[in-house]
Structure 1
Amino acid sequence: MIENLFDKDNRQLKARLNELGYQPASQLASIILVGGKGTRLAEARKRIDPDDYPALDPSFHGRIGPKGLAIMEGALPGRTVRAPLTDWHLEIHAACREVTDLTLALGSGGDIIRSYYYQVHGGRFRGRPVHFLVEERPAGTLAPLVKLHTRGHLPETPVVYANGDNLTDVDLYQAYLVGCLTALESGRKVDDVVIDIIAMVPWELSHECGTVDLDYDSGHIHAFREKCPKENNPYIEVDGRKVTPINSGISIVVNPASVYGRYFAQHPQVVETSQKLESGELDYKPNEAVVKYETAYQLLAAQGLMIGVYHRGSYWADLGTEEKILAAEQAFPASRIFTR
């Protein structure tokens, strides 16, 4: 079992990879999708209150901000923190010392988010530089990668690709190492795969999520399934409870230049559609499926190029509703992100 190789400094995982002749990257970069409006959240949570944002340009005060700046409150040791959802999400990346670079992919309210990270954080978060990729109009969850591809800037080094609406306490670098080892031990070329971090949800709630058809022995993801009645969803029993695997919204592309260079060459309509969506030549809803990373992952899974990794007992949350944020306010500050 790969999980038996887990240790605090990942030494055993690195040693096993070296035995197989593979030298893992020592650094990761992260791209975080934070372009949503948060239409299911209360306006009071999204309002740019000067008490929460005293250092932000006063012209933004009183405005209803984007979801990424909605306030979440949590109790950390010795203090209570009120911070935007994006800050809480970035703590996942900052907790991993191998993540050295952060890029926020912005859409709705991008001007306020940029100002916040420049004016309040000085363009950095926990010592990491924060960069921005901006969509003038919604152009799909693949849009940041399309932009990098068309500029010739897709990196050859690993990128964490994350939905800013989700929280987890998984060690991102450990997930990367486990994914690389899983790929090697199943005969795949590491540079060709995407490592999807799997979350487990109670089976009785699995109808609320798209699920993952996962081979637990090989780590191979066969398919990503749309939401359906729980009776149709897979599950395993962990500590006497039925749990169902889902996509956590956080993945690691080992070599974006290889994976997406090939994908965009095979599916040129993705690039064209994303660009036309941003320019306003096309309507978003009829074309959404073409430009979603979920569509890409479904096709990559069919080619045997999606690896699923999960850590038993890990925390995961979606921040899509008021109720889920209230639950995360209690649970996330007590997670391993802040206690390990």
Structure 2
Amino acid sequence: MAELRLRNVNKVFQQTHVLHDINLHIADGDFVVFVGPSGCGKSTLLRTIAGLEDITSGELYIGGALVNDVAPAKRGVGMVFQSYALYPHMTVYENMAFGLKLDGAGQDEIRSKVESVAQTLQLGALLKRKPAALSGGQRQRVAIGRAIVREPKVFLFDEPLSNLDASLRVQTRLEIAKLHERLGSTMIYVTHDQVEAMTLADKIVVMNQGRIEQVGTPLELYNQPASEFVATFIGSPRMNMLKGKAAEDLGGATLGIRPEHLQVRTQGEAGDWKGVLRMAEHLGSDTYVYVDVAGVGEMTARIVGEMELEPGCELYLHAPSQHMHLFDAQGKPVDASLRRTA
């Protein structure tokens, strides 16, 4: 059983309050992603779960047992860091076997576990190589394998793909997702990349300034953001946020519209915003247009496929009402029943 519960967890470094009353339940077998901007406390929270940071106040339970004062090696967690942290003088086999040796496992048990995990991670042919002879993706798989062989209750990943190039990030991300499917283990993954969060997670924990802003499935966060912060952080390109009359007419302080929900027209209709195209980004599968709208500012729209447009041309933007997100002055969603019709 690898259920985790955090109750009113706080972390203070000297005079700096880093984590504020963290309350979180992670069910056995969940793949949970902590996401947020740099400095939001997500890595500190992960290190607190691992036991690498002490809890200032609050309680942490793993598998129903209180582990506040339990040493990291006794918590049943396996951690994979942003840096691979492999021993350069050891082979792949020796790196993966090192933790088991420290635990006092016998040679036959070590060989059986390492070879089995190596086959799962497609490292079987690389066991005699040293890290210098491996690619970045292979090194990361070795680091993951080193954690797996110890059969932890919980896997902790601290931005494990940050050192990989774009194509390797995609490939390794898929491998991690497949690994979770095969093992069924509880996994907690830290990233600042919301695309990784959306594609990997069963549940996303969005953090901001040491606090949890929202917990939910990727689509819950995308479709029903619980704050203006979540709305702008989840989704790429980020949600358009309109202040002033556009929001006030509907009874709010800020009107949010995702770029993919804006309809782009060359002829205006009632309710459209009229603007001038500043720039278009042609990506083949999509076209992103950046439009200067008088009295509103710049708005971004995503068009599926190609649309031939010249900078300086007039465009009209329309947002269906069902795709409008309205927020009050505190950045909280305005209840649909309180909205006014523009």
Q: TM-score, normalised by structure 1?
A: 0.28
Write 1 or 2 for the structure with the bigger share of helix: 1
Write 1 or 2 for the structure with the bigger share of strand: 2
Greater relative CO, 1 or 2 (CA 8 Å, sep 6+): 1
